[in-house]
């Protein structure tokens, strides 16, 4: 089966066929840097990172561009309210954004262009639009003449009359629906020289200029939040197709993620939730893996509720997964288990366990891919992995579980397979398991890994000697250091309580 995706432009699920074989060019609209980014802004970042990773997994070479809008009304307003130059604002929030995506571990975005570094490309494309008869100049402003571009509305599926903003009382424009390509500078505003005098670009034009510079016309995937369909993406299409007429569609597939919804009532009752709505605050308290798991457990086009309950649900589910992975890793690393002598009953049980595990090793990738091929159904794919993990957990938790080398080798392959597929979601399961060790010193205050291992050994000795008072004392001491123990036939596993 081939990958199908929902194309906003045609309002249909279509088979994905890139313009060039084996190569995908994608562009996603990035933030306007006048504030710290929110959980809402993080969704397209996490979703399109998953899209890019899955396309790479399918064998495509992907070029991924995400812009930053560093000149816009909101930035100027913020600079005025703080009484500083606009650069102070954009430097601060560009830096914060770069830190956020680093913390989120979104790597390898090929280009992250800034609008203010793209002025000559922007002027070029506006000039083309004017020369092709789609733009007009009024004073120092340039507007796009929507009446000249006959396909306007094709993305949002609206009629021009429905799109006119009744409150728009800009008398300069020939029609209310026309939008600014270049804005004349007001006194004190940041500005650049242009054929139309000093000014700055309108918001929409930078994406037409940047995508053309890095990806060319007719590239494969353009992404963004649902809220950008109109007017931003509609205007991007009009601009690009007016600048390069007769070349077909500006973009082959338009993908839009649903919004993150917050119930005002919940937000107003919970200061924590309000604080966590800012991504950098969220990431101080919770792991990037949790945020990705929470977001990708819902299909990218569906609305997503942001609430303590939903986050807690995701946290529990992720903990179940990591706890199983931790147990699997323990069994793989435990040498004693490899040399166990099994009874005939245990051997029989093991044969059936082996068959189950081998069946997963065969089916897991096709089942995962078949879910993802349905319009990047990450929720379904997470479900496929969860079922496999749950079944394997059932096997290894069994009282009569007695693995041999072959089983352990297969378990190792299973572990690598699961961890590899989770990487597509940007989730590092191996690290999630090891985080316990990394966070140990700070979280437990005083206990180090070696100390914990020694205490466990001491406790096991005490239990062997039936000195349960001592073994309980040690357990309590560890619990005081937030170390949880799990006694297994093969030994004792510990982890940090979260």
Q: C-beta of 273: minimal distance to Zn ion in Å? A: 29
- Cβ 176 vs Cβ 165: under 8 Å: yes
Least Cβ distance, residue 453 to Zn ion (angstroms) = 53
Residue closer to Zn ion (CB basis): 207 or 395: 207
Cβ-contact 401, 489 below 8 angstroms? yes
**In the complex, what is the shortest distance from the CB of residue 222 to Zn ion, in angstroms, rounded to a whole number?**
8
- Interatomic CA distance for residues 171 and 186, integer angstroms: 17
Binding-site member from 24, 125, 207, 483 for Zn ion (CB under 5 A): 207
- Give the three-class secondary structure for 435: helix
Instruction: Quote the least distance from Cβ 224 to Zn ion, whole Å.
Output: 6
Output the smallest distance, CB 76 to Zn ion, in A: 19
- Using alpha carbons, select from 43, 64, 209, 192 the residue that is nearest to residue 126: 209
- 207/382 with CB nearer Zn ion: 207
Residues, the chain = 498
Question: Which whole-number Å values give the CA distances from 178 to 182, 200, 238, 359, in the listed order?
Answer: 12, 17, 11, 60
Q: Answer for the pair 443, 308: CB distance below 8 angstroms, yes or no.
A: no
In the complex, minimum distance from the CB of residue 207 to Zn ion, in angstroms, rounded to a whole number: 3
Report how far apart the first and last C-alpha atoms of the chain are (Å, whole number): 41
> What is the DSSP annotation of 355-413?
HHHHHHHHHHHHHHHHHHTBTS-HHHHHHHHHHHHHHHHHHHH-TT----HHHHHHHHH
Q: Which is nearer to Zn ion, 52 or 430 (CB)?
A: 52
Stretch that binds Zn ion, among 29-37, 79-87, 274-282, 477-485 (CB under 5 A): 29-37
Give min distance, CB of 29 to Zn ion, in A: 3
Of residues 49 and 287, the one with the C-beta less far from Zn ion:
49
Rounded CA Rg of the chain: 28
DSSP conformation class of 186: P
In the bound state with Zn ion, the residue whose beta carbon lies nearer, of 29 and 129, is 29
Would you give the binding string for Zn ion spanning residues 148-187, x where CB under 5 A is met?
----------------------------------------
Query: Least separation, in Å, of the C-beta of 367 and Zn ion?
Result: 35
For Zn ion, the closer of residues 119 and 332 by Cβ is 119
> Helix, strand or coil for residue 96?
helix
> In the bound complex, what is the minimum distance in angstroms from residue 206's beta carbon to Zn ion?
7
Under rule CB under 5 A, residue 115 binds Zn ion: no
Contact 415, 301 (CB under 8 A): no
Supply 34's token pair.
């006048």
Nearer residue to Zn ion within complex by CB, 33 or 424: 33
In the bound state with Zn ion, the residue whose beta carbon lies nearer, of 207 and 331, is: 207
Work out how close the CB of 72 gets to Zn ion at its nearest, in angstroms, rounded to a whole number: 11
Q: Tell the residue number behind the tokens 């991504």, with chain if given.
A: 279
**DSSP H helical ranges for 188-257:** 205-215, 234-243
Residues pairing with 32 in the sheet: 69
Piece of the chain touching Zn ion by CB under 5 A; list 24-32, 184-192, 291-299, 430-438: 24-32
- The region of 127-135, 200-208, 385-393, 488-496 touching Zn ion under the rule CB under 5 A is 200-208
Task: Please tell me whether residue 304 binds Zn ion under the rule CB under 5 A.
Answer: no
Would you count residue 29 as binding Zn ion (CB under 5 A)? yes
User: Considering beta carbons, is residue 233 or 459 the nearer one to Zn ion?
Assistant: 233
C-alpha triplet 332, 334, 335: angle, nearest 5°: 110
1 neighbors 373 (Cβ within 8 angstroms): yes
Q: Which is nearer to Zn ion, 29 or 221 (CB)?
A: 29
Q: Name the one range near Zn ion by CB under 5 A: 14-22, 194-202, 204-212, 424-432.
A: 204-212
Distance from C-alpha of 236 to C-alpha of 115, rounded to nearest angstrom: 14
Residues in contact with Zn ion, total (CB under 5 A)?
2
CA separation for the pair 379, 368 (Å, rounded): 10
The piece of 58-66, 199-207, 338-346, 372-380 that touches Zn ion (CB under 5 A) is 199-207
Give the footprint of Zn ion on this chain (CB under 5 A): 29, 207
């Amino acid at each position: 089966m081939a990958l199908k995706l929902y194309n906003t432009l045609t309002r249909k699920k279509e088979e994905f066929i890139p313009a060039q074989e084996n190569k995908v060019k994608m562009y996603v609209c990035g933030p306007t840097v006048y504030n710290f980014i929110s959980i809402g802004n993080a969704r397209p970042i996490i979703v399109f990172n998953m899209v890019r990773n899955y396309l790479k997994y399918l064998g495509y070479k992907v070029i991924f561009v995400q812009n930053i809008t560093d000149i816009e009304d909101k930035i100027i307003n913020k600079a005025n309210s703080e009484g500083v130059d606009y650069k102070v604002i954009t430097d601060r929030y560009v830096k914060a954004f770069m830190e956020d995506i680093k913390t989120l571990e979104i790597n390898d975005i090929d280009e992250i262009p800034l609008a203010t570094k793209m002025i000559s490309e922007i002027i070029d494309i506006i000039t083309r639009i004017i020369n092709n008869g789609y733009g007009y100049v009024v004073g120092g402003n340039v507007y796009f003449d929507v009446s000249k571009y006959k396909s306007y509305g094709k993305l949002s599926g609206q009629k021009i009359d429905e799109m006119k903003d009744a409150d728009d009382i800009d008398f300069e424009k020939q029609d209310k629906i026309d939008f600014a390509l270049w804005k004349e500078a007001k006194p004190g505003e940041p500005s650049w020289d242009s054929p139309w005098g000093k000014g700055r670009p309108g918001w929409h034009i930078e994406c037409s200029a940047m995508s053309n510079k890095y990806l060319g016309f007719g590239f494969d995937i353009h992404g963004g939040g649902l809220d950008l369909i109109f007017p931003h993406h509609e205007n991007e299409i009009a601009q690009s197709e007016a600048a390069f007429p007769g070349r077909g569609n500006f973009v082959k597939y338009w993908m839009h993620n649903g919004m993150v919804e917050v119930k005002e009532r919940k937000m107003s009752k919970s200061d924590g939730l309000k604080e966590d709505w800012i991504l950098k605050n969220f990431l101080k308290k919770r792991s990037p893996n949790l945020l990705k798991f929470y977001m990708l457990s819902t299909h990218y086009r569906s609305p997503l509720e942001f609430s303590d309950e939903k986050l807690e649900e995701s946290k529990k589910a992720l903990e179940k997964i990591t706890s199983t992975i931790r147990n699997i890793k323990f069994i793989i690393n435990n040498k004693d288990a490899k040399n166990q002598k099994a009874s005939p009953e245990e051997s029989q049980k093991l044969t059936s366990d082996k068959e189950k595990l081998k069946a997963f090793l065969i089916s897991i990738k096709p089942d995962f891919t078949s879910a993802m091929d349905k319009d990047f159904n990450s929720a379904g794919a997470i479900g496929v992995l969860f079922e496999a993990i749950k079944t394997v957990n059932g096997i290894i938790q069994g009282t009569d579980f007695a693995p041999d080398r072959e089983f352990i080798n297969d378990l190792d392959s299973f572990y690598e397979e699961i961890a590899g597929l989770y990487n597509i979601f940007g989730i590092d399961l191996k690290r999630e398991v090891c985080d316990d060790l990394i966070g140990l010193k700070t979280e437990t205050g005083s206990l180090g890994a070696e100390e914990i291992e020694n205490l466990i050994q001491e406790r096991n000795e005490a239990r062997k000697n039936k000195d349960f008072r001592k073994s309980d004392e040690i357990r309590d001491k560890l619990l005081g250091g937030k170390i949880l123990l799990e006694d297994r036939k093969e030994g004792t596993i510990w982890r940090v309580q979260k």
